[in-house]
């Protein structure tokens, strides 16, 4: 059998903003560079959106929301458009995967087999919901007929990060479109390319002009303009807890737009001695090192029961040695660069803090000696809860391994964090699994698995990991307003 043709880094033209179905320069005329993190080279110039461009995009989205054809489109017709977009994503999977890999640095095997299929699957799941969004008939006292309508929340502003650019876009666009909203999306300044191509595919699928607008730009300008805009009804954000707080504050100080936030994490991954320890150790490795550690759910605190601690440490250390670090477009590569120089510097700062606070760096701990932003897979043993590397989200290939003695201690230490995005427990004892998963304060708990995502399963954070839920039926509640209609029956 002939092997699949190799995907090569694409040549990319300079990019514009996508507003009202047209490719436009920014009002200011400004552009910015998007960088290939594997080399540090500029890929192309991208029009830099700002307040004035967000204004134009919001006007276009408002007009599309309130006029034909979108305002009159049936749920099933919206569903057909979303299905069509999913089909186009699959038909263009290699090109989209190449855009993800050149812009973000993720290995092509991941972008082709994880990111892009996951993006298509999310659209397909929500396409199926589009004609199944409805209210209830509610019995009330007196001669009245009461029913609820689940109406689109309106114009939504969406701000996404760079770690899973296309997938994060699908988590935002798919439920919004199913619900009948219109969109102004700001991709991360590090990774604008896949969003711009997906806007083009959405147009090809037949979405009317103005339903989807994409305004690349920076956080403090374009992002802040979305958060503050008086004519945006809801803002959905994924990124750091710090910026999430700012967005909520801005929403409160402007028009009380609805807010959903999907923020950081410091997820505990608990391995008990009665687990299938080798499997748990292998998954624990990937729970942190997948996507160069740049996952909101990264299992960055590996809590291991005393009696199997050494065994787990040995297995994960040997896996670190097998990581294939290099060119993201080489199909054998399992670890690419971090997304940017800035993230790389932040991660190295955490590694230095781990060393100076007395954690034991058992493997890695350095930058890789080549162009681009590569960091060695790094494992710290003997990590204490009050160390910086145990408390703060690192968002890089740095794993903290923590020793514990019993169930109560594991639960207490796992929950000893301001975050609550995800957690996992490994044990063959069903009672222990049930007890621990109920006690963990996290939006997702995996039992004997890790990083299992599905468009049908709700996702979001407890505590400072977020507000609201994305994915599944729960996402729709965050893109609709409920209206009670009460009608007098003949007197
Ligand atoms: P960030 O939160 O600054 O950026 C995420 C998005 O928000 C980007 O589109 C950015 O342009 C936008 N943004 C930034 N400032 C804004 C503002 N004032 N108003 C509106 N939008 C704004 O995150 P950054 O700087 O890229 O990464 C820093 C840390 O955040 C990471 O090290 C990681 O710990 C965390 N993070 C968490 C993510 C998650 O999936 N939960 C994703 C990305 C980052
Ligand atoms: Mg880039």
CATH of the domain at 72: 3.40.605.10
- Considering the domain boundaries, does residue 489 fall inside one? no
Is residue 252 domain-shared with residue 306, that is, in the same domain?
no
pTM of structure: 0.98
Q: Report the separation in Å between the CA atom of 272 and the middle of ligand 1, taken as the mean of its atom positions.
A: 34
Residue nearest to atom 42 of ligand 1 (CA): 239
- Considering the domain boundaries, does residue 10 fall inside one? no
Q: Report the separation in Å between the CA atom of 346 and the middle of ligand 1, taken as the mean of its atom positions.
A: 13
Is residue 186 domain-shared with residue 218, that is, in the same domain?
yes
pLDDT, residue 3, reads: 55
- Considering the domain boundaries, does residue 11 fall inside one? no
Residue nearest to atom 27 of ligand 1 (CA): 240
Q: Decide: helix, strand or coil at residue 269.
A: strand
Is residue 247 domain-shared with residue 274, that is, in the same domain?
no
pLDDT, residue 490, reads: 83
Locate 436 and state its tokens. Answer: 């621990």
d(CA 226, CA 218): 11
d(CA 399, CA 284): 9
The domain that holds 279 is classified in CATH as: 3.40.309.10
- Considering the domain boundaries, does residue 49 fall inside one? yes
Cβ < 6 Å from ligand 1: which residues? 159-163, 186, 188-189, 218-220, 223-224, 227, 238-240, 243, 246-247, 262-264, 296, 346, 393, 395
d(CA 183, CA 362): 47
pLDDT, residue 4, reads: 57
User: What b/e string do you get for 146-176 counting C-beta neighbours within 10 Å, with b at 16 or more?
Assistant: beeebebbbbbbbbbbbbbbbbbbbbbbbbb
d(CA 234, CA 215): 17
Q: Report the separation in Å between the CA atom of 101 and the middle of ligand 2, taken as the mean of its atom positions.
A: 9
Is residue 205 domain-shared with residue 291, that is, in the same domain?
no
Is residue 259 domain-shared with residue 378, that is, in the same domain?
no
Is residue 208 domain-shared with residue 340, that is, in the same domain?
no
- Tell me: the pLDDT tens digits for 109-126? 999 999 999 999 999 999
- Considering the domain boundaries, does residue 12 fall inside one? no
- Tell me: the pLDDT tens digits for 380-399? 999 999 999 999 999 999 99
- Considering the domain boundaries, does residue 491 fall inside one? no
Is residue 44 domain-shared with residue 113, that is, in the same domain?
yes
| Range of the structural domain that residue 21 is part of | 17-263+465-484
Our count of domains for the chain comes to 2
Q: Where are the alpha helices (DSSP H) in 337-484?
A: 341-356, 388-391, 407-414, 430-439, 472-477
Is residue 245 domain-shared with residue 285, that is, in the same domain?
no
Could you tell me where the beta strands, DSSP code E, fall in 293-346?
A: 301-305
- Considering the domain boundaries, does residue 93 fall inside one? yes
pLDDT, residue 5, reads: 62
Is residue 112 domain-shared with residue 130, that is, in the same domain?
yes
Among candidate residues 213, 204, 236, 4, the one with its CA nearest the CA of residue 86: 204
Is residue 49 domain-shared with residue 178, that is, in the same domain?
yes
Among candidate residues 263, 262, 315, 261, the one with its CA nearest the CA of residue 289: 315
Is residue 328 domain-shared with residue 400, that is, in the same domain?
yes
- Considering the domain boundaries, does residue 248 fall inside one? yes
Is residue 249 domain-shared with residue 275, that is, in the same domain?
no
Instruction: Show the low-confidence residues of the chain (pLDDT under 50).
Output: 1-2
């Amino acid at each position: 059998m002939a092997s699949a043709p190799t995907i090569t880094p694409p040549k990319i033209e300079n990019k514009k903003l996508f507003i009202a179905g047209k490719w436009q320069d920014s009002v200011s005329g400004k552009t910015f560079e998007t960088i290939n993190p594997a080399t540090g080279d500029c890929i192309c110039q991208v029009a830099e959106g700002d307040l004035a461009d967000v204004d134009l995009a919001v006007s276009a989205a408002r007009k599309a929301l309130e006029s034909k054809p979108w305002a009159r489109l049936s749920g099933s017709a919206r569903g057909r458009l979303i299905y069509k977009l999913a089909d186009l994503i699959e038909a263009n999977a290699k090109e989209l995967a190449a855009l993800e890999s050149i812009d973000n640095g993720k290995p092509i095997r991941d972008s082709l087999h994880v990111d892009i299929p996951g993006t298509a699957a999310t659209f397909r799941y929500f396409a199926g919901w589009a004609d199944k969004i409805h209210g209830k008939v509610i019995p009330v006292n007196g001669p009245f007929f009461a029913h609820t309508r689940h109406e689109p929340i309106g114009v939504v502003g969406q701000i996404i990060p760079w770690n899973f650019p296309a997938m994060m876009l699908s988590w935002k666009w798919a439920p919004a479109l199913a619900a009948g909203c219109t969109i102004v999306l700001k991709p991360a300044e590090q990774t604008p390319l896949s969003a711009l191509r997906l806007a083009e595919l959405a147009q090809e699928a037949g979405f009317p002009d103005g339903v989807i607008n994409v305004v690349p730009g920076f956080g403090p300008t374009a992002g802040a303009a979305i958060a503050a805009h008086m004519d945006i009804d809801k803002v959905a954000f994924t990124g750091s807890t710090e910026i999430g707080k700012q967005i909520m504050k801005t929403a409160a100080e402007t028009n009380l737009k609805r807010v959903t936030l999907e923020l950081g994490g410091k997820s505990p991954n608990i391995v008990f001695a009665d687990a299938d320890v080798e499997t748990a150790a292998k998954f624990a490795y990937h729970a942190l090192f997948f996507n160069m550690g740049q996952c909101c759910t990264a299992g960055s605190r590996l809590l291991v029961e005393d009696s199997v601690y050494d065994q787990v440490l040995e297995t994960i250390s040997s896996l670190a040695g097998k990581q294939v670090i290099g060119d993201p477009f080489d199909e054998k590569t399992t670890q690419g660069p971090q997304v940017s120089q800035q993230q790389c510097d932040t991660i190295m700062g955490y590694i230095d803090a781990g060393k100076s606070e007395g954690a034991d760096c058992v493997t890695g701990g350095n930058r890789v000696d080549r162009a681009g932003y590569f960091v060695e897979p790094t494992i710290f043993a003997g990590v204490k809860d009050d160390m910086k590397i145990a408390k703060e989200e690192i968002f890089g290939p740095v794993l903290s391994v923590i020793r514990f003695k019993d169930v109560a201690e594991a639960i207490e230490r796992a929950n000893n964090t301001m975050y609550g995005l995800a957690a996992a427990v490994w044990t063959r004892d069903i009672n222990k699994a049930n007890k621990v998963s109920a006690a963990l304060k996290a939006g997702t708990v995996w039992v004997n698995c890790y990083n299992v995502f599905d468009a049908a399963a709700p996702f979001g954070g407890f505590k400072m990991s977020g507000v609201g839920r994305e994915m599944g039926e729960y996402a729709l509640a965050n893109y609709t307003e409920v209206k009670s209609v009460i009608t007098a029956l003949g007197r």
